[in-house]
Chains A and B, each alone.
Chain A
């Protein structure tokens, strides 16, 4: 099922009638979610990602704009008629019902032609339970399950009525780090197995990057960038997106462009051919540094953290906006911990320039 959002806007009126501090939760969101894909809505809290999800689901009505499921305009359709499955952040499993009863519940709601026989219902419930691997827990109560198991029950309950669209609200936020890693693979696997168009909301960029076919980065109700996770990471549209994606976060410096050369402080760190002279923000990904004594970029060395596979060089630079500069280099590099300064070459494809005022990306024409 293709889900199409057209100029979707949600405005929450202000509580106080006299003031007009209304909140624009989602502002003019247009996007077509391709059939059978897993899309992650990503952004810091209050960016409107959950509101978008609830509008797709039908629990909230958009102020303006339209939502299409395939050819059908569902904007005015109540949630129960949309055929969506929703997994809540805290799962909202009915605590007084067993796992089986929870999964059966949506099926028992069906009336008329859609209603299945008792046997069919049970078969369907067990089928779904097998997909999410909880078929051995069917007689337990939710309180007797671990967080990860509860989450799978919630997914099973959403899947059992064979929804056209599956929606997940912060599905991993209640899990511990280890389970989170495991469960996100699980979600990916389940989505692939069922091939249901899936939208999920998260504030964790790693989570979104790791399993989504596409991500939508939002900030204060406005879509910042839409694309494949790697594309967005490799080519952020603005400073916000660049900062939001990636762990450790991108290093940002005050810089300037003069005669087609990028300067941080007085050091020329890269080319910016055909870009007008101006002050800029220079963003450099942690993996964009090459340790070399001949390198043009000098930093004061603070610490070297060896983490097995690679080495994290923590340094300072006067032009850095972040308190420290963090560079990740291969563990094969040998660094003398006692030295005062380190020098780097900068990988051109890991360095981004942003306009000082608008914070929009300044693209460099590459013609090599």
Chain B
């Protein structure tokens, strides 16, 4: 009754209450989106030149330029590779950990907290710790010949078991070694959120399904594959889709380990990602190119998400 009175008698009141949110959204979300599209389609657009009164032609030149950049292709390859490796690995690991956590009674809350810690820790700080762990020599700027001591804990462990230390991230390290470190780091970083979501999903599954399965003599493996996973499928789908979206926006994790050079000392930018490319374009005052790259990234994420939804249609039981 009262709400309908507000509706009919004072519509301006409703708008007044909505105004702060609407204004903020318009200024910081709607306008930037619109502006990005506009800049992407203005040939060679640059904010600096625009301020100087220069006019730009409409066209697809920015897009053409972006896809012709070798660096852009490298960025795309890095991004896609990281997604392909990290999303499945982290999802499966998170699922296993969540199921294990859910099945124990003692220490459950304690372990839950431990597993959640990475989520509340700054990812740059984590990156620096990982960089130290995977480090190989005392001197970061040294050449291969200068390696005297192995300092990183990972290499210490490898040596302890009689293996040969690997140059993970330093001067002269291989692309594969770099990627391995990145995958491990990103997976570790992505776990807490996924565990949280999946554990929440697990705890909301009616215990009677498990009782019913038990009375019917279902093996543990069958309970997992035929009951737990299907009943958890909406959460799994959510975690996978957000995982892909997050993966395509990967940037800070690489900065965290390799610094702003985005690669080992002898091959800077080797591990650059699409978001990194956009930042680089922005910092060189090529907003047109940056916008075009951003739109391409948007398109890729859209397509991947649509594929995800399409695939999950058959497998997800809401």
Contacts and interface: CB of A to CB of B under 8 A. Distances in A.
Contacts, number: 59
A299 to B, nearest CB: 48
Interface stretch (B76-84, B204-212, B267-275): B204-212
A84 B215 contact: yes
A180 B37 CA distance: 62
Contact of A94 (B209, B217, B233): B209
B209 A92 contact: yes
Contacts of A57: 215
B282 to A, nearest CB: 47
B222 interface: yes
Interface string B208-236: 11011111111100100011001101000
Interface string A45-62: 000000000000111000
A94 B231 CA distance: 9
Given A88-B211, A95-B231, A110 B206 contact: no
Contacts of A79: 214-215
A18 B185 CA distance: 47
Contacts of A81: 217
A90 B317 CA distance: 19
Contacts of B217: 80-81, 106, 109-110
A95 B214 contact: no
A109 B230 CA distance: 17
Nearest to A87: B212
A94 B227 contact: yes
A92 B211 contact: yes
**Residue among B212, B215, B219 with max Cβ neighbours from chain A (10 Å):** B215
B277 to A, nearest CB: 42
Contact of A105 (B208, B214, B216): B216
Interface in A63-93: 78-81, 84-86, 88, 90, 92
A97 to B, nearest CB: 8
Contacts of B208: 88, 90, 92
A100 interface: no
A233 B266 CA distance: 93
A105 B215 contact: no
A152 interface: no
Contacts of B206: 90, 92
A85 B212 CA distance: 9
A88 B231 contact: no
Interface in A286-321: none
Contacts of A84: 215
A187 to B, nearest CB: 18
A80 B215 contact: yes
Per CB-CB distance, the 4 closest pairs between chain A and chain B, nearest first, are: A80-B217, A96-B317, A106-B216, A92-B208
Interface of A: 57-59, 78-81, 84-86, 88, 90, 92, 94-97, 105-106, 108-111, 157, 161
Given A85-B215, A111-B219, 12 more contacts: A58-B215, A59-B214, A80-B217, A80-B218, A81-B217, A86-B211, A86-B212, A86-B215, A94-B226, A94-B231, A96-B233, A105-B226
